[in-house]
Amino acid sequence: MTEKTLLIVVSKILIPLILLFALYVQFHGDFGPGGGFQAGVIFAVAFILYALIFGIRTARKVIPSAVTRTMLALGVLIYGGTGVATMLMGGEYLDYNVLADTVKGGQHIGIFIVEFGVGLTVSSAMITIFYTFSGHVNAELPFRKGDKP
Amino acid sequence: MAATAYYLTRLRNLFAVVMLSGVYSLFAAALYMVLDAVDVAFTEAAVGAGISTVLMLGTLSMTTDKEKVRKKPPLTALILVFMTGGVLVYGTFDMPRYGDPNAPIHQHVANRFIERSGEEVGPPNIVTSVLASYRGYDTLGETAVVFTAAVGVLIIIGRSKDRSMPNAKAVRRREEDDDITHEPSAKEKEDASS
Amino acid sequence: MSWEVVTDLLGLLNYWVVIILMMAGFYVVIAQDNLVKKIVGLNIFQVSVFVFYISMGKVSDGTAPILEEGIEVYSNPLPHVLILTAIVVGVATTALALALVVRINHSYGSIEEDEIQVIEHDEEEIA
């Protein structure tokens, strides 16, 4: 059981950092390496780590699968909706220039929203897939055979 | 990296295969880093070494982690692979050399991205501006593919937990196998005694 | 063989590495019967294509494509974009394939291709 305690302590320190890092990657992607795809994956990894250590049932309480399924559709909707919004504002589909007065401002807002949609879809897709796979294995422990090296 | 790939083809224990494929991914991420693709290295490290390994382990724990031992090595496949590889190597002699700034790939649209994306889009990270702005339609499609794949996984195996029996046919077959290999059931004993 | 020819051929080394990896993946996909191993083989194949694209985008003495003062030569950002999205799509499709394997295991009780074919053949004869 001491190993389990160690895992719990270490993951409790790590998970907030991973989530913070995912948010940094998401919103700092314009300036350094990063963006919606990477951030979504890292965000999902934090929840998967949580589910591996504390069990699937606890993880499902933290973020229910209904929520991830809604987020899954919402991300694509945000992306497509941005395109429709630019059309309504007089531009072409996904033409971010009309979103603000200046070209750079419009592009910045457009990229920000679109990357957010991507991140939302990717992270919730990964969590959903993981939930589906682990829901079959065992409700408490994610792996029965695989955890023995 | 090639050594990892070689052992991947040889190993029988699927658990080791999955672990090695994670190692392979990590090597690939390091390689992307050397080749200046920081964004890609980032993604590969998180996806390949993280999520896909976890998913494969999940699959193994639901199926089996031992591969059946084969009788004869598939010689035809080996010949086919070597022939294809030979043809491909022959094809590389006409390819531009590694790192050549005059290669055709650098002559078309990429220059415009590098020179003008600063004014036209803004973000210093060219990868982000190409991804979200110049190739916005493409990325919308990719997002839709990820969405569809997740929905597909849900449809294929998401619901079978609700059913107590996964598939009547498979259960029946497993029972038949049990009858052959294990002791006869109580009902059969009664039939035999009467 | 003169030294120029050798250095010239060394410029093709990246393609050869890609081909070796690709053929390893190809071999696993066509020669192995185990479905999980086939998917791992597909992954090897996939990564080799990624390496191919990324190594095409590399420019000698270039740097990562993030605009900065005083830097003139950047590597080509276009392959990076394509592969970045391809990796994430790749893992999503891998998950789909693994889900299919799980489903096959539910129905047939096996993930070996030849065993599944035998079972299917038997069922056809019964029916």
Residue A142 has a pLDDT of 41
Question: 10 Å Cβ neighbour count for B179?
Answer: 12
Question: 10 Å Cβ neighbour count for B191?
Answer: 10
Residue C81 is nearest to which of B25, B31, B135, comparing CB atoms? Answer: B135
Residue A144 has a pLDDT of 42
Residue C66: beta bridge partners? Answer: B125
- Would you give the DSSP letter of residue A144? S
CA distance B80 to A111: 46
Q: Which residues of C touch B124 (CB under 8 A)?
A: 66-68
DSSP-assigned states of every residue in A24-49: HHHHSTTTSS--HHHHHHHHHHHHHH
pLDDT-based confidence at A139, cuts 50/70/90? very low
Q: Say how many domains are in chain B.
A: 1
Q: Say how many domains are in chain C.
A: 1
CATH number where C105 lies: 1.10.287.3510
Instruction: Write down the ipTM of this complex.
Output: 0.80
Is 60 exceeded by the pLDDT of residue B5? yes
Query: In this predicted model, which residue has the larger pLDDT, A125 or A143?
Result: A125
Helix, strand, coil shares, percent, chain A, to 5: 75, 0, 25
Residue C34: beta bridge partners? Answer: C112
Cβ C13 vs Cβ B98: under 8 Å: yes
Taking the CA atoms of A98, A104, A107 and A109 in sequence, report the sign of the dihedral they define. Answer: negative
Q: Percentage of residues in chain C with pLDDT exceeding 90?
A: 2
Q: Percentage of residues in chain B with pLDDT exceeding 90?
A: 2
At B137, phi and psi to the nearest 5? -65, -45
- The answer to the question of residue B41 being in a domain is yes
Q: Provide the angle, in degrees to the nearest 10, between the axes of the packed helices B14-34 and B38-46.
A: 160
Domain range enclosing B60: 1-68
Domain range enclosing C38: 3-126
Rg (C-alpha) for chain B, rounded Å, is 26
- The answer to the question of residue B136 being in a domain is no
Q: What is the pLDDT of residues A93-131, one digit of tens each?
A: 877 877 777 777 888 888 888 888 988 999 999 898 888
How close does chain A come to C98, measured CA to CA in Å? 9
- The answer to the question of residue B32 being in a domain is yes
Residue A107 is nearest to which of B47, B122, B151, comparing CB atoms? Answer: B122
Q: Which residues of A touch C64 (CB under 8 A)?
A: 33
Q: What is the pLDDT of residues B56-79, one digit of tens each?
A: 888 888 777 677 766 666 788 888
Is 50 exceeded by the pLDDT of residue A141? no
DSSP-assigned states of every residue in chain B: -HHHHHHHHH--BHHHHHHHHHHHHHHHHHHHHHTT-HHHHHHHHHIIIIIHHHHHHHHHHHS-SBPPPPSS--HHHHHHHHHHHHHHHHHHTTSPPTT-TTSGGGTSHHHHHHHHHHHHT--SBHHHHIIIIITHHHHHHHHHHHHHHHHHHHHHHSSTTTSSSS-HHHHHHHHHHHHHHSPPPHHHHHHHH-
Residue B25 is nearest to which of C47, C57, C93, comparing CB atoms? Answer: C47
Q: Which residues of C touch A131 (CB under 8 A)?
A: none
pLDDT-based confidence at A140, cuts 50/70/90? very low
Q: Whole-prediction pTM value?
A: 0.80
CB–CB contacts below 8 A, B to C: 268
pLDDT-based confidence at C106, cuts 50/70/90? confident
Q: Which residues of A touch B137 (CB under 8 A)?
A: 93-94
pLDDT-based confidence at A134, cuts 50/70/90? confident
Residue A6 has a pLDDT of 85
Determine contact: B105 vs chain C, CB below 8 A.
yes
Question: 10 Å Cβ neighbour count for C32?
Answer: 21
Query: In this predicted model, which residue has the larger pLDDT, B123 or A115?
Result: A115
Determine contact: A116 vs chain B, CB below 8 A.
no
In this complex, do C77 and B126 lie within 8 Å of one another by their Cβ atoms? Answer: yes
- Would you give the DSSP letter of residue C34? B
